[in-house]
Amino acid sequence: MISQKARYALRAMLKLAEAGATEQILTGDLAASADVPRKFLEQILLQLKRDGLVASARGRAGGYRLARPARTISFAEILRAIDGPLALAPCASRTAFQRCKDCRDVETCAIRHALLDVRDATATILEGRMLGDSAA
The CATH number assigned to the domain holding 85 equals 1.10.10.10
CA atoms within 13 A on the CB side of 32: 5
pTM of the model: 0.88
> What is the number of domains present in the chain?
1
In this predicted model, what pLDDT tens digit does every residue of 17-71 receive, in sequence order?
A: 999 877 899 999 999 999 999 999 999 999 999 999 999 988 776 799 999 999 9
Range of the domain at 64: 4-134
Tens-place pLDDT, residues 87-136: 888 888 888 888 888 888 888 888 888 989 999 999 999 999 999 988 76
Using an 8 Å Cβ cutoff, are 1 and 83 in contact?
Answer: no
